[in-house]
């Protein structure tokens, strides 16, 4: 009964929402001209990247913090378990993985570099990096991670640290994350590079830290 009521309400809501969308005037504010006008000064050629790392770079800073936060929360929950290496996969798969990983690294580098002027960037590059690590793990070539040691912690935090340091240092310009146009490109590249590494580790970590957790019910 309750189920049906909820589903009915959802349906009604969808219809109301959809019909309200249909009679909508054009938006009074259009940010596209502003985005284009300042693209020169933003340090990157691709508008989405410009929004992501310059105009609304503050959002991105906090978003990386959210990702780190999820990792902290996961680390806080998982127990210290001892088992390490997963069962190795079939040799064919392992060979394929060994072949794929270098290619993925190249792809990640390309995506990072491409972000400045076409779709791509740190997040995409980082995900490919993470996928490579997960692939290695699934084929039994990389052990699941225990609670991180100092080196891994620095690796996980590096991207955020660089971002935070740049943001703080740019306060000297007068405002948080206010890139000087001349330096914007270089600084954003630095941030993206560090972010790619850390995001790769972070996203992989979301998988690999969990893989040690005991399976099944006690």
Partner 1 sequence: MTEALLDPLPGLILLPLAWGIAAFLLGPGRGAAPAIVTLSLQFLFCLQLTHQVLADGPATHPVGGWGAPLGIDLMADGLATAMLLLTQAVALPLAVYARAYFRPGAPEARHFWPLFGLLLAGLNGLFLSADLFNVYVTLELVGLAAVGLVAMGGGAGQIAAALRYLFATLLGSGAYLLGVALIYGSYGSVSITTLEPLVAAHAPTLVGLAGGLMLLGLMLKTALFPFHFWLPPAHGGAAAPVSALLSALVVKASFYLILRLWLGPLAPLSALHPLLPWLPALLGTAAIFWGSWKAIRALRLKMMIAYSTVAQLGYLFLIFPLLGALGGLQAGIMQAFAHGLAKAAMFAAAGVLIKATGQDTIAGLAGAAQKLPLTLFAFGLAGVTLMGLPPSAGFLAKWQLIEAALGQDCWLIALVALAGGLLAAVYVFRVLRQAFLLTAPESSLQPVPRSLEWAAFALASASVLLGLRGVELMQLLHVGWAG
Partner 2 sequence: MSTGLLFALVGAALFPMGVAGLLVQRHLLRRILAFNLMGSGAFLILVGLAQRQDVADPVPQAMVLTGIVVAVAATALALALTRRLYALTGRLELPDVEHD
**How far apart, in Å, do the first and last CA atoms of the chain sit?**
36
Binding window for partner 1 (CB under 8 A); candidates: 74-82, 85-93, 110-118, 137-145: 74-82
Instruction: Please list, residue by residue across 157-178, b when 16 or more beta carbons sit within 10 angstroms of its beta carbon and e when fewer do.
Output: bbbbebbeebbeebeeeeeebe
CB 114 within 8 A of CB 188: no
Burial class (CB in 10 A: 0-12, 13-18, 19+), 106: exposed
- Choose which of 9, 16, 103, 186 interacts with partner 1 (CB under 8 A): 16
Q: Is 1 in the site for partner 1 (CB under 8 A)?
A: no
Nearer to partner 2, 103 or 117 (CB): 117
**Residue 171 partner contact from partner 1, partner 2, none using kind-dependent CB cut-offs of 5 to 8 Å:** partner 1
Kindly compute the dihedral angle of the four CA atoms of residues 109, 114, 115, 117, in this order, to the nearest 10 degrees. 160
* Residue 55 near partner 1 by CB under 8 A: yes
Dist. CA 11–CA 128, nearest whole Å: 38
Cβ-based neighbours of 172, under 8 Å, separated by 6 or more? none
CB of 136 to partner 1, least distance (A): 25
Q: How far is the CB of 97 from partner 1 (least distance, A)?
A: 31
Shortest distance in whole angstroms from residue 107 CB to partner 2: 18
Q: Residue 21 interacts with partner 1 (CB under 8 A)?
A: yes
Name residues contacting partner 1, limited to 77-116 (CB under 8 A): 77, 79-80
Assigned token pair, 111: 């995506």
Rounded distance between C-alpha atoms, residue 38 and residue 54, angstroms? 10
Q: Nearest CA to 124 among 139, 104, 148, 100?
A: 104
Nearest approach in angstroms of CB 10 to partner 2 is 4
**Residue 6 binds: one of partner 1, partner 2, none (C-beta under 5 to 8 A by kind):** partner 2
Regarding 214 and contact with partner 1 (CB under 8 A), the answer is: no
Q: Are 61 and 163 in contact (CB under 8 A)?
A: yes
The nearer residue to partner 1, 108 or 201, going by C-beta atoms, is 201
The SS3 of residue 171 is helix
In this chain, which of 7, 83, 173, 214 binds partner 1, going by CB under 8 A? Answer: 173
Residues forming contacts to partner 1 in the complex (CB under 8 A) are 16-17, 20-21, 23-25, 27-31, 34-35, 38, 54-59, 62-63, 65-66, 68-70, 72-73, 75-77, 79-80, 147, 150, 153-154, 157, 160-161, 164, 167-168, 171-179
């Amino acid at each position: 009964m309750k189920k049906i009521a909820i589903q009915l309400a959802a349906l009604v809501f969808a219809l109301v929402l959809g019909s309200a969308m249909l009679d909508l005037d054009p938006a009074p504010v259009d940010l596209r001209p502003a985005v284009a006008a300042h693209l020169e000064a933003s340090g990157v050629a691709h508008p989405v990247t410009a929004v992501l790392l310059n105009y609304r770079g503050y959002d991105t800073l906090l978003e990386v913090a959210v990702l780190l936060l999820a990792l902290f929360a996961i680390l806080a929950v998982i127990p210290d378990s001892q088992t390490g290496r997963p069962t190795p996969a079939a040799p064919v798969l392992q060979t394929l993985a060994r072949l794929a990983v270098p290619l993925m690294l190249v792809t990640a580098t390309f995506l990072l570099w491409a972000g400045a002027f076409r779709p791509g960037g740190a997040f995409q590059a980082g995900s490919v990096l993470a996928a490579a690590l997960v692939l290695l793990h699934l084929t039994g070539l990389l052990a699941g991670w225990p609670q991180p040691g100092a080196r891994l912690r620095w690796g996980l935090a590096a991207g955020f640290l660089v971002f935070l340091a740049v943001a703080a240092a740019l306060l000297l310009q007068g405002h948080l994350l206010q890139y000087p146009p001349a330096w914007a490109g270089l600084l954003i590249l630095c941030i993206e590079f560090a972010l790619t590494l850390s995001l790769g580790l972070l996203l992989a970590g979301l998988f690999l830290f969990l893989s040690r957790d005991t399976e099944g019910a006690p």
